[in-house]
């Protein structure tokens, strides 16, 4: 069955460092991969989309990579700030179906 | 002020009762979705609708029902048949139901069964 994995352990980093979050998947060939941010008690907010034929996508301090051979996406936040603290979800899109990961909680300490 | 709204934010239900969660959007989106979020799990699709008067079951539709009588509205009813309804419920919409459409989420409703 299709499976999407994000690190369930929280990631703690110091302000100013680069945060790197991982999304791995199996038994799936998504056409797109999306990343969302979710704050406690709120709905997810869309951040970035990357297509299967794209290796990298950037938006301001955010960078996403997509390796369809490794079946993995990496999500980077450079120069991280305490305001970046949240849960980050990856989502695979293929057919008319979107599969969400459980998310990784990021804490950025001042 | 465009967006997607859900009400109520918190809802308490006694066992055996049906409850209806509201979802409204003024984004003029064709597609709407209902997800359930439990701790440690990804969002799970309950129902989705690509157009008015049409909807499809998602992965965990048992014990739930929906209607789509208006483009703006997609209410979800949690029936007494749903064995474990306590969860965080999220409504979303997208421009269309096509591949890769970004989904815009509402603020969620937290349902607790007493």
Q: What six digits make up the tokens of A6?
A: 């994000």
Q: Which residues of chain B have a Cβ shorter than 8 Å from any chain A Cβ?
A: 35, 40-43, 45, 90, 92, 97-100, 102-108, 110
Q: What six digits make up the tokens of B9?
A: 């934010």
A74 vs A88: CA distance, rounded Å:
11
Q: Report pLDDT digits (tens) over A78-94.
A: 999 999 999 999 999 88
Cβ–Cβ gap A32/B92 under 8 Å: no
Q: How far is A59 from chain B (nearest CA, A)?
A: 16
User: Which residue in chain A is spatially nearest to B38 when comparing CA positions?
Assistant: A102
Q: How far is B80 from chain A (nearest CA, A)?
A: 25
Residue by residue, pLDDT tens for chain B (114 residues) are: 569 999 999 999 998 899 999 999 999 999 999 999 998 888 999 999 999 999 999 999 999 999 999 999 999 999 988 889 999 999 999 998 666 688 999 999 999 998
Are A57 and A80 within 8 A, CB to CB? no
How far is C-alpha A82 from the chain's CA centre?
Answer: 18
């Amino acid at each position: 069955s299709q499976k999407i994995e994000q690190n369930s352990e929280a990631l703690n980093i110091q302000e100013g460092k680069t945060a790197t979050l991982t999304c791995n998947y199996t038994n799936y060939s998504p056409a797109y991969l999306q990343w969302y941010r979710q704050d406690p008690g709120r709905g997810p907010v869309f951040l970035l989309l990357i297509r299967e034929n794209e290796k990298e996508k950037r938006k301001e301090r955010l960078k996403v990579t997509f390796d369809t051979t490794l079946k993995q996406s990496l999500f980077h936040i450079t120069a991280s700030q305490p305001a970046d603290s949240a849960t980050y979800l990856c989502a695979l899109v293929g057919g008319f179906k979107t599969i969400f990961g459980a998310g990784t909680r990021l804490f950025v300490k001042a | 002020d465009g967006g997607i709204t859900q009400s109520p934010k918190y809802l308490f239900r006694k066992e055996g009762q049906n409850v209806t969660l509201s979802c409204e959007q003024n984004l003029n989106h064709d597609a709407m979705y209902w997800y359930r979020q439990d701790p440690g799990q990804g969002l799970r699709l309950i129902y989705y609708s690509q157009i008015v008067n049409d909807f499809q079951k998602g992965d965990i539709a048992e014990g739930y029902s929906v209607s789509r009588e208006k483009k703006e509205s997609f209410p979800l009813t949690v029936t007494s048949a749903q064995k474990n309804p306590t969860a965080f419920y999220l409504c979303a919409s997208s421009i269309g139901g096509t591949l890769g459409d970004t989904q815009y989420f509402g603020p969620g409703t937290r349902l607790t069964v007493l």
